[in-house]
């Protein structure tokens, strides 16, 4: 219940685009939970209430949400792109279990600081961090 709506509308207007009903529905469904999501999950979720929003529109709206700084592309899992919130969420890194797919989110300003330093050395302007590791989680290791 932040003002994603405001942010999104501002972005759209600045590009000469419109905050239409389907776009509102998509935005609100995306921000109805805090979870990562992929297009299929989002589509199913939306379809529970709104039978008139198409996959095409979802695929077309996601890049707008990304551009507006509301979400970002996250992991790729089972051949599908996944997304996560950036607006209203602290940045975090991911520990992904290769066995069960579980995602552990951990905050770490430290790693970002180091990356920032390294980027400076290379005259590189960081827009977005992508930090994580794959491995085996606690539960799966015990099996």
Q: Which residues of this protein are in contact with DNA, per CB under 7 A?
A: 12, 16-23, 38-40, 52-57, 59-61, 79-81
**Residue 37, SS3 per DSSP:** strand
Q: Nearer Cβ to a second copy, position 2 or 135?
A: 135
Exposure string for 91-119, b = 16+ CB within 10 A, e = fewer: eebbebbeeeeebeeeeeeeeeeeeeeee
Residue 15 binding a second copy, by CB under 8 A: no
Binding mask 112-141 for a second copy (x = CB under 8 A): --xx--xx--xxxxxxxxxxxxxxxxx--x
Q: Nearer Cβ to a second copy, position 7 or 97?
A: 97
CB of 79 to DNA, least distance (A): 5
CB of 13 to DNA, least distance (A): 8
Residues in region 91-110 near a second copy by CB under 8 A:
93, 95, 97-98, 104, 106, 108, 110
Residues, the chain: 143
Helix (H) or strand (E) holding 119: helix 109-121
Residue 48: phi and psi, rounded to 5, are -55, -35
**For 46, how many CA atoms within 13 A lie in the half-sphere containing its CB?**
25
Options 60, 76, 80, 89; binder of a second copy; rule CB under 8 A:
76
């Amino acid at each position: 219940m932040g003002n994603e709506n405001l942010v999104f509308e501002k972005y759209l207007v600045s590009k000469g685009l419109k905050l239409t009903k389907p776009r509102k529905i998509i935005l609100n469904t995306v921000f109805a939970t805090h979870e990562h999501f992929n297009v299929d999950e989002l589509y199913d979720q939306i379809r529970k209430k709104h039978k008139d929003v198409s996959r095409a529109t979802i695929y077309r709206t996601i890049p707008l949400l990304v551009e507006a700084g509301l979400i970002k592309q996250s992991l790729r899992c089972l051949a599908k792109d996944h997304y996560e919130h950036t607006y209203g969420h602290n940045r975090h890194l991911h520990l992904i279990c290769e066995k069960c797919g579980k995602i552990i989110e951990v905050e770490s300003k430290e790693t970002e600081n180091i990356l920032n330093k390294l980027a400076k050395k290379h005259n590189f302007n960081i827009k977005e961090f992508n930090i994580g590791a794959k491995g085996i989680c606690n539960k799966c290791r015990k099996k």
